[in-house]
């Protein structure tokens, strides 16, 4: 079964462009006047396309990029607990 088209679906490119340019931080409240200026006539409650664009931007933005060392690069990780002095019991974690 296919989802019914909403009024805001015609403005998906405008909405996604604003979500992308603000790094996903724009809210529907701030985006609605921009969409209205472009011709959107619906209510804010029906502005569901904004949520779809924001979720799509989040999936595109969060890409897993594992660290792949080049020749001569190393990652040294160490952890422990201070056993002497005024900082006794302090937990330490280092990565260089």
Q: Is 56 within a domain?
A: yes
Q: Is 80 within a domain?
A: no
Q: Is 11 within a domain?
A: yes
> Of 6-10, 27-31, 71-75, 89-93, which gets the smallest average pLDDT?
6-10
pTM (whole model) above 0.75: no
Q: Is 29 within a domain?
A: yes
Q: Is 44 within a domain?
A: yes
Task: Give per-residue burial for 53-90: e unless 16+ CB within 10 Å, then b.
Answer: bbeebeeeeeeeeeeeeeeeeeeeeeeeeeeeeeeeee
Q: Is 70 within a domain?
A: no
List, for residues 25-54, the tens digit of each pLDDT value: 887 888 888 888 988 887 777 776 777 777
Q: Is 17 within a domain?
A: yes
| Number of compact structural domains in the chain | 1
Q: Is 30 within a domain?
A: yes
List, for residues 55-73, the tens digit of each pLDDT value: 777 777 766 677 777 777 7
Q: For residue 62, what pLDDT is reported?
A: 65
**Domain interval for residue 26:** 7-61
């Amino acid at each position: 079964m296919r989802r019914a088209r909403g009024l805001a679906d015609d403005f998906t490119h405008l909405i996604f462009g604003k979500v992308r340019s603000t790094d996903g931080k724009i809210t529907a409240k701030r985006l609605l006047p921009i969409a209205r200026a472009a011709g959107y006539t619906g209510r804010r409650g029906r502005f569901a396309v904004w949520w779809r664009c924001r979720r799509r931007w989040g999936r595109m933005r969060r890409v897993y990029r594992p660290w792949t060392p080049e020749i001569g690069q190393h990652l040294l990780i160490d952890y422990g607990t201070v056993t002497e002095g005024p900082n006794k019991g302090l937990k330490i974690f280092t990565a260089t």
